[in-house]
């Protein structure tokens, strides 16, 4: 897993917090100093928090778990969506729909409704409907797509939620806590970290800061997917190694070795007779 250096965190501006007049006392332990009225994060603690979060998502992904990426603030939306899609994970970038975790059964019905409407439109099942009805169907699809398109493939409550701004998407943090879902979040100096299991203390406003942290989490997930863990906790062997040690291949190798040994013995006997 790629390690992020203190220099990278510094260059991305992860150390800049909010104005000292807008801080949350529970973030005191993550703050190094204040400069020109701005709190400065202790990047050693930022690095530690990011590494612990990355290790957690790697472990979840290795076990086949799902992690929802959440980033509804403007500067995080594209970053979060792109990273989630690359990692093959669900995402929310428009708005957090209340009950997504705590009322999953109802949310699943909306997701199924979206799938049914999209399939109906693709198969031209609505051709006999009136023009007004078709317009209403298109509007419903657009609305459902906006709210649930990023989680359309989610089959159940995820194992974790990764939030790009714990304050902006506090609803996601609260629901995850209530449902017992692991919560990972970027937490700035003006945010209460309570309810976040894995705090990444960092600047949640600068695009470069968000990008670096989100990409690190994505990379850890991708690594976990590439190196899955079986149900008994053992690491699953890569395909090429599995093929190399497959029983039928082992048998072929053993037969080949036996033939080679037999040929060598016969050659030795012939040489002895000749002498």
Question: Which residues touch 155 (CB under 8 Å, ≥6 apart)?
Answer: none
Span 6-101+157-226: which CATH code? 3.40.50.10490
Q: Using CA atoms, how far apart are residues 29 and 55, in angstroms rounded to an integer?
A: 22
- Alpha-carbon distance of 56 to 199, in angstroms, equals 12
More confident residue, 271 or 166: 166
Q: Give the H/E segment covering residue 57.
A: helix 43-62
Decide the pairing of beta strands 182-187 and 198-201: parallel
Tokens linked to 66 = 């799902």
- Per-residue pLDDT band for 251 (boundaries 50, 70, 90) equals low
Q: Residues 242-256: what's their mean pLDDT?
A: 56
- Of residues 163, 198, 185, 174, the one with CA closest to residue 69: 163
**Structural domain spans, the chain:** 6-101+157-226, 239-274
Q: Determine how β-strand 91-92 pairs with β-strand 31-35.
A: unpaired
Residue 155 to residue 147: CA distance in whole angstroms: 16
Is the model's pLDDT at 270 over the cut of 80? no
Task: Give residue-wise pLDDT tens across range 11-70.
Answer: 999 999 999 999 999 999 999 999 999 999 999 999 999 999 999 999 999 999 999 999
pLDDT(247) > 60: no
Question: Strands of 38-41's sheet, edge to edge?
Answer: 16-19, 38-41, 31-35
Answer yes or no: are the C-beta atoms of 80 and 211 closer than 8 Å: no
pTM of the model: 0.81
pLDDT, residue 76, reads: 97
The edge-to-edge listing of strands for the beta sheet with 160-163 is 91-92, 67-70, 160-163, 182-187, 198-201
CA distances from 233 to 26, 59, 71, 96 (A): 36, 11, 32, 34
C-alpha to C-alpha distance for 153 and 17, rounded to whole angstroms: 36
Q: What is the DSSP string of 183-203?
A: EEEEE-TTS--TT-SEEEES-
CB-based contacts of 70, cutoff 8 Å, min separation 6: 80, 91, 92, 93, 96, 161, 162, 163, 164, 169, 172
Q: What angle do CA 111, 116, 121 make, to 5 degrees?
A: 130
């Amino acid at each position: 897993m790629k390690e992020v250096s203190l220099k990278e965190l510094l260059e991305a501006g992860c150390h800049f917090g909010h104005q000292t007049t807008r801080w949350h006392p529970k973030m005191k332990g993550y703050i190094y100093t204040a400069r020109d009225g701005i709190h400065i994060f202790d990047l050693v603690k930022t690095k530690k928090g990011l590494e612990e979060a990355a290790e957690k998502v790697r472990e979840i992904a290795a076990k086949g778990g799902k992690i929802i990426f959440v980033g509804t603030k403007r500067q995080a939306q594209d970053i979060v969506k792109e990273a989630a899609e690359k990692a093959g994970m669900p995402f929310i970038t428009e708005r957090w729909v209340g009950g997504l975790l705590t009322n999953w059964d109802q949310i699943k019905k909306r997701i199924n409704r979206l799938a049914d409407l999209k399939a109906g439109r693709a198969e031209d099942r609505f051709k006999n409907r009136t023009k007004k009805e078709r317009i209403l169907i298109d509007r419903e699809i657009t609305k459902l797509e906006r709210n649930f398109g990023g989680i359309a493939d989610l089959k159940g409550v995820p194992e974790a939620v990764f939030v790009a701004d714990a304050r902006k998407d506090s609803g996601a943090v609260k629901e995850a806590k209530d449902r017992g879902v692991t919560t990972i979040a970027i937490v700035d100096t003006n945010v209460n970290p309570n309810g976040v299991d894995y705090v990444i203390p960092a600047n949640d406003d600068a695009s470069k800061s968000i990008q670096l942290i989100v990409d690190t989490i994505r990379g850890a997930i991708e690594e976990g997917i590439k190196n899955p863990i079986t149900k008994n906790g053992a690491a699953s062997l890569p395909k090429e190694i599995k093929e190399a040690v497959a029983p039928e291949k082992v048998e072929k190798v053993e037969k080949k070795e036996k033939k080679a040994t037999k040929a060598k013995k016969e050659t030795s006997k012939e040489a002895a007779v000749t002498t």
